Structure 1
Amino acid sequence: MDVSLLEDIVEKLRTDKPLEAKYRNHELAGKFKGVWECHIQPDWLLLYYKDKNILVLTLVDT
């Protein structure tokens, strides 16, 4: 697992830069509306949301 991939994505999210399409960044639905999911790698997920100017990482899982 290359932690620098996670660091790069977090930096882009923190600075409001768009993620490349390969990360399949999308908002979840239902009770998770407002939470976003991106695929750092096909089997490595990041769930997050933004609350005002705060980036909250809720799950990093493989």
Structure 2
Amino acid sequence: MSKNRVKYGVKKDLGQVLKEENKFRKDLKLTKRRGKNIEKLKEVVYKLANGHALPPKNRDHNLSGNYSGFKECHIEPDWLLIYRITEIELILIRTGTHADLF
């Protein structure tokens, strides 16, 4: 792996800078314990960080209420990713089931 690569296959010199919130890291540990295929998450994060549109199956959309200003997409039907994109950062906020997050 080249030195300019970071997690999820996102290159530092391409796309967004990747930032993981502490809550996301805890959620990710739980997701791994549940036996989820983390490669699916990596594929979605790679696309987001490099400015690629997600396919319709990921149901990418804006959130409201407590998560106003954030976006959510589906990794699987009941496995979600909450994130925020700025001009320079992709911030991974939370991941988990509907029951975990809402």
- The normalised TM-score by structure 1 is 0.91
Q: Which runs of 5+ in 2 are unaligned?
A: 1-35, 98-102
Structure with bigger gyration radius = 2
Number of the residue aligned with 2:92? 57
SS, match of residue 82 in structure 2: strand
Alignment gaps of 5+ in structure 1: none
TM-score normalized by structure 2? 0.57
More strand by share: 1
Letter in 1 for 2:56: A
Q: CA RMSD in A?
A: 1.1
CA distances 1:23-42 after superposition (whole Å, capped 9, x unpaired): 11000123422200001001
CA distance in 1, matches of 2:84, 2:69: 6
Q: Percent identity?
A: 39
Structure 1 runs of 4+ aligned residues shifted over 3 Å read none
> 1:12 is paired with a residue of what secondary structure?
helix
